[in-house]
Structure 1
């Protein structure tokens, strides 16, 4: 007795079976090669700076930077002492941590109101907070400087009696410029949350404040982690407003330490490279600690149809 094959099953297996050959099969290797080359081109300056940060300046001056040898740890020791990294790291910590926490909190509040309540001013409110990101900081330099100089504050809040030359002033500027972007991202994230959660919370008698703290914020953990990494990097590396608002060098953030490594007549590029590597360490640590949540926040919605 002969067994008759199922034509539908045979066709399905033929469609699912990967086709060999064809016009596109020879180009499958092209995209990985192109991406690898782009990655190497992008990483080359960073790797070159990392390698030369461990090399002696006299050796590279004689043999060139594209050479091998002359390795030493003196560049990091000298950079730490000459750049006064201990003081400036502390200054950056004072500025970055409160600014990031305050930015995420305020933007979460704005995003919750925009996403949770259907008011006619929602779009206008979000646009108002986002407008700060559309203006270049240089255009606001003189107005912000004069405003901070005119605002009188208690001496326990600022030693100068104004918002100039104070950490609080730099923190407020960074919060003002970053809140709009974070509110825009979080509002889109919160709008994707199931409305049934809030309906069940209302039936159970949960107040709006409780919905915000116990439902919304825990569900927004990936987005908050991704924004925390971005905001820490941006505020930590920001030096424009610090240069404008600070009048004393001992309050500058760590990005100013690079200027202390430049000589009057020549610059030891290996020493500067070592200082740059030192400055980059905190942001790398934060990224690797929050890497899981950061990737989850960036890829949210990628698989939704």
Structure 2
């Protein structure tokens, strides 16, 4: 089954690629990952981080609330993923909080109908526009993002930025059609239609509106779009993890060990030992040991600042971490 996205000449001129990870698309896609029976290897560091957080904090309430709206697979209400914007999570939360009551009722009713389930008491309250229910949803979004996504955002951002760099070269070398033909193995360009593997057959006519392409770290396999064709068109697709751009360094994880290689990559942005531990999903003691080995190999420097030790890459460490073309390989396959 396929989703067919129909382009006009105007649409080809109005394609945009998100400049950074979209917070709400990453949030809902990560919830799919969290509920999956089997995760892809690229998400293993994040899942380790989640397990450690769950052992220390009571996050099951916010997760339970969010999974009421985000099932393991399938559609979710469009209001959870407002149009791409540059305002980050705060702007997205503002848009979600401002969702008109009529839209909440309509989308939640359709969602429950597709799931063939009876809405929970909380979901019925939300559909009715109950202020407390809206606040509970906003609190769950903020807590989930702050505790489970923000500490790993450098890994998410590295993959999305690498994907954007790849596709920037595609546009320079072959224009919009080259871009559309190289998005993902599950997407193919059959002019003037973009055909994507999808859970059901459907057509989306852009009609000159253009489309926002959103690479996502947590999106795997098939791309995702909105349910309502009247909303600004968007296609969320798996961020590329092409290994060809760093081929001379592909053996580095085997040389250093995967976790130590991840630590090297995580230090593209300098940080203290505790933050390094959060970034790669290990204990502070383990992070300190990895930093010590990297320091002895002259790949990083460590400087005491007050009560913390801050680690940063040396020129050699940066070259290894980013590869000869400046593309991070730390989350590559």
| TM category, shorter | under 0.3
TM-score by length of 1: 0.23
Kindly indicate which of the two structures has a greater share of residues assigned to helix: 1
Kindly indicate which of the two structures has a greater share of residues assigned to strand: 2
Structure exhibiting the larger radius of gyration computed from Cα positions = 1
